[in-house]
Amino acid sequence: MIEKFINDLLAQLGAGSKEVVYLSVTPGVGLELIQVDPVIKSVKTYGHKPLEYSDSMREISNYDDFKTTLEELFSELNISPKCNIVLNLPMVHFGKVDLPLLLNDEGVTEAVISEVEQAYIFKRCEPVVSWFDGSSSSASDTRTIFYSAVQKPAVDKIKEILTELGATLSGVEISLVSALRALSFAGLTEAQMQEGTPWNLMIVNATGYNLVAMSGKNIVDYYEEPLALKTYELDEIYEAISASVQIAMMNFPTNYLYIVSETDLVSAEHLTSKLQFEGKIDFLENNSFRKREILPVSLNILPDQVMKISLESVGIAVSKSYNYPIKLDFSENKVSEFSSGSEETLSFHFNDKEIVLTETVLKKMSFVVAGLLIIPALVAMLTLPVVEKKNQAKLDEINSKIKNIDAEIKKLTEQASASGSFVVKTEIENVIKYNRNKLISYSALGESVPADLWITYFMVKETGKIDIKGVSENVEDIYIFFKNMKDYLVDSQLRLHKLEMTSSSIDDAVVSNGPTTYEFEITNMTEGEINPSAAKSSTAKTEDESAASGEKASGGKKSTKTKKVNDLEPVDINGG
């Protein structure tokens, strides 16, 4: 989805995007077409066709066969020829030279060309060179340069064929760098490629072997030994290689040796048993002796193709996506069909596609980006006054409410400060005190009521006034209740205000066989508080009634209904 969206967007802008296809000319295999998913490290597209390669001339034997073979691969794998090609070629020439430290890059290129032209293969054709800096000491006044070269006519011929097919040559590398990158990407030399770790890479091919001294991922030195392996018998090949390597290894002392065999004449595994090496030896069969795949493959790749996938093809397939410190590129003046006239181009790779942007496309993209940035700003500028007006109205409403609330607070504050007015703090304290007194009174009542005593009326005022009325079958329970209440409510100043028998007469109470009940009232309220309407006349009335009652009693009649507490005999409330 993302890829389709990007392609559609670029198409609308007029930008070009081409699928990137990776080719490898591999002696012993032929022409390989490959694509690798670098995220899951899996080969997703692969195909190969036989292609004859001349080891003596170190180039493709027949370029017409190269064109035909490539067309067949495009057709079989359903890949459009209108794509960008990154090509791996067998290494033609590789070397090392020490040059003055002050020499600029142009001078280095000229010096490298002079070195390359001394090789026999470039005495008849012009070279294309590429080089990189090796490790050099800061104390030295020279720089170590590793260089390589391929035949310019060969590169031009390949580029011409690709152009006829509609493809574009966007990169050319050599097998040595591709093999090193593949070993690192696949994790085959993870232990050896640790930074600062010295080790040797030995690559055996049909014309001899190459010995590469390494430090981690970087090349330190290089040695090439030509051997006409096809002229030897089977056992003689291993003896010849072993004898030569023993001498060469004296100049490359390390504890690691990794052998890669690219020819069916030599088994790397068998060669390890022939070498007298005290360190650790690992190997990889990059030939018909291979027993395991270099990378996992997609299910759409035929099983008979899996073991043909070469180390070099894997290395070139990840050349755009995997960062390896060594890179040699022999392509010249990459031309895109999307560039026109003298327009400069900018290209980058995305998911096996090379995106090419011209000046015109970049201008269009800048307009699009500017539009994406300016349009939201304009919309914000237009909508901001409306939003601001709405927010201002809300703010005015809130300020009005705040003003009204402030006025109410001021009014209440003035009322509270006036004499005799309602004081919030005082009222809260009174409520708390009242509720506390009431709770204590209820608790005292619950703890003090005897079994044969019943409360008929209970009242507690917020001023601390208490009034309790009830009945009991005996006076002793009443006094016990009264004593307990006074003990619980120490500061209440309770008194036994009333104690009466409920019988109609004393005679009835004496002769009655049933229980006698007594009414009582315990309070700390004054008489006027108990009965405010009769407060003024209560004292005189009580005295007259008492006198009359005394006269009747002296006449021998027991018509008194009740006896006051003062007329009763003392009772020992402690049970005496």
Q: How far apart are CA 172 and CA 146, in angstroms?
A: 17
Residue 278: which pLDDT band, with cuts at 50, 70 and 90? confident
Task: Select from 115, 16, 128, 74 the least CA-distant residue to 356.
Answer: 16
pLDDT of residue 102: 86
* Furthest C-alpha separation in the chain: 171
Percentage of residues in the chain with pLDDT exceeding 90? 45
Q: Flag whether pLDDT at 544 surpasses 60.
A: no
Mean pLDDT across the stretch 360-369? 68
Q: What is the pLDDT of residues 25-62, one digit of tens each?
A: 999 999 999 999 999 999 999 999 999 999 888 999 99
Q: Cα dist. 518→450, 459, 503 in Å?
A: 14, 20, 9
Cα–Cα dist 45/79, whole Å: 10
371: left (phi over 0), alpha (psi -120 to 50) or beta: alpha
Question: Mean pLDDT throughout 295-322?
Answer: 93
How much is the pLDDT for 373?
A: 74
Q: Give the model's confidence band at 354: pLDDT under 50 very low, under 70 low, under 90 confident, else very high.
A: low
* Average pLDDT, integer, range 322-326: 93
Mean pLDDT of 347-352: 52
User: What is the pLDDT confidence band of residue 559, given thresholds at 50, 70 and 90?
Assistant: very low
Q: CA–CA separation, 75 vs 19, rounded Å?
A: 15
Average pLDDT estimate for 337-345: 40
Give the pLDDT band of residue 530 (cuts 50, 70, 90): confident
In the prediction, which pLDDT does 339 show? 35
Considering only 111-115, 296-300, 343-347, 530-534, which range has the smallest mean pLDDT? 343-347
User: Is the per-residue pLDDT at 349 higher than 60?
Assistant: no
Residue 12 pLDDT > 60 = no
Query: Which position has the higher pLDDT, 23 or 141?
Result: 23
Contact predicate 266/238, CB 8 Å: yes
Asked if 291 and 317 touch (Cβ cutoff 8 Å), the reply is no
pLDDT at 426: 65
Predicted confidence band of residue 428 (pLDDT cuts 50, 70, 90): low
What is d(CA 538, CA 95) in angstroms, rounded to the nearest whole number? 137
- pTM attached to this predicted model: 0.59
Any idea which of 31-40, 338-347, 398-407 has the lowest mean pLDDT? 338-347
Residues 6+ apart with CB under 8 A from 231: none
Q: Examine the pLDDT at 392 and tell me if it is beyond 60.
A: yes
Question: Cα separation of 533 and 552, whole Å?
Answer: 29
Rounded to 5°, the CA angle 545-550-552 comes to: 95
CA–CA dist 328, 331 (Å, integer) = 9
User: 100-157: per-residue pLDDT in tens?
Assistant: 988 899 999 999 999 999 998 998 899 999 999 987 666 678 889 999 999 999 999 9
Task: Report the distance separating Cα 573 and Cα 576, nearest Å.
Answer: 7
Q: Look over the chain and give the mean of its residue pLDDT values, rounded to a whole number.
A: 81
**pLDDT-derived band at 193, boundaries 50, 70, 90:** very high
Is a pLDDT exceeding 90 seen at residue 90?
yes
pLDDT mean over 51-75: 94
What pLDDT score does 540 carry? 53
Q: What is the pLDDT of residue 568?
A: 40
pLDDT band of 509, cuts 50, 70, 90: low
Given a cut of 90, whether residue 229 has pLDDT beyond it is no
Q: What average pLDDT score do residues 420-444 get?
A: 67
For residue 252, what pLDDT band results from cuts at 50, 70 and 90?
A: confident
Higher pLDDT, 519 or 414: 519
